[in-house]
């Protein structure tokens, strides 16, 4: 029921859709690592686009992005400005006959029952990596919660967890830091 979905979706994510959210020190730190020459790939469950806003270039949004939507009929993608123009955003592509598509857009956010994106890429990258940083997650959401168990099987891969609270998977990491990422990063930069 897309006509009912869009107003509720926009209400739920109203603050994130305003574009006023800014990257925190954790987002900026990862972007700075990349800028300093490190090969950084960010796989995030967040849908807010803040890693891209911080300047990270290799970002894989596993649960999609609130910043975009696509037409399920013709595939045309639209940005947040277009999504916010109408209560129920529609495709405005004009076909060869001069008619507007008019189909209701589908958010790029992964909804219940949708497949998580970039999961195969995540494991390809893990197998080529020296270090896995797991930052700011309870590891309660499947299938991402299984990543530490899989990573534990990769010989030579170092694993670090930075999270405010303990998780059931802490024992799989070489280093575990229970702290807010922004606070931890500020201490690193002192």
The arrangement of strands across the sheet holding 175-177 comes to: 131-135, 158-162, 175-177
pLDDT by residue for the chain (190 residues), tens only, comes to: 899 999 998 888 775 666 667 899 999 999 999 999 999 999 999 998 899 999 999 999 999 998 899 999 999 999 988 998 999 999 999 988 888 999 999 999 999 888 999 999 999 999 999 999 999 999 998 889 999 999 999 999 999 999 999 999 999 999 999 999 989 998 887 6
Q: pLDDT value at position 97? A: 87
Domain boundaries of the chain, sorted by first residue: 22-61+118-188, 68-107
Torsion of CA 32, 161, 44, 14, to 10 degrees: -90
pLDDT digits (tens, 9 = 90+) for 22-72: 899 999 999 999 999 999 999 999 998 899 999 999 999 999 998 899 999
Catalytic residue among 63, 82, 152, 171: 63
Token pair of 182 as six digits: 């922004």
Going 103 to 108 to 112 to 115, the CA torsion angle's sign is positive
Domain 22-61+118-188 is found in CATH 3.40.640.10: no
Query: In the 8-state DSSP scheme, what is residue 57?
Result: S
82 in catalytic set: no
Pick out the residues of the known binding site for Zn(2+).
Answer: 71, 74, 91, 101
Q: Could you count the other beta carbons within 10 Å of the beta carbon of residue 34?
A: 19
Q: pLDDT value at position 142? A: 85
Pick out the residues of the known binding site.
Answer: 71, 74, 91, 101
Confirm whether pTM is higher than 0.85.
yes
């Amino acid at each position: 029921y897309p006509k009912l979905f869009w107003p509720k979706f926009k209400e739920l994510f109203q603050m994130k859709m305003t574009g006023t959210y800014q990257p925190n020190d954790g987002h900026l730190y990862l972007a700075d690592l990349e800028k300093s020459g490190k090969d950084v790939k960010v796989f995030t469950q967040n849908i807010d686009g803040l890693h891209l806003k911080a300047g990270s270039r290799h970002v894989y949004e596993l649960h999609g992005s609130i910043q975009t939507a696509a037409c399920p009929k013709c595939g045309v993608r639209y940005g947040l400005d277009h999504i916010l123009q109408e209560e129920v955003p529609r495709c405005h592509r004009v076909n060869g006959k001069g008619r507007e598509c008019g189909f209701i857009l589908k958010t790029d956010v992964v909804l219940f029952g949708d497949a998580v994106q970039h999961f195969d890429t995540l494991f390809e990258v893990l197998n080529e990596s020296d270090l896995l940083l797991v930052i700011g997650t309870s590891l309660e959401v499947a299938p991402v919660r299984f990543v530490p168990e899989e990573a534990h099987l990769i010989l030579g891969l170092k694993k670090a967890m930075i999270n405010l609270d303990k998780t059931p998977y802490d024992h799989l990491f070489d280093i575990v830091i229970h702290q807010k990422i922004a606070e931890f990063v500020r201490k690193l930069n002192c």
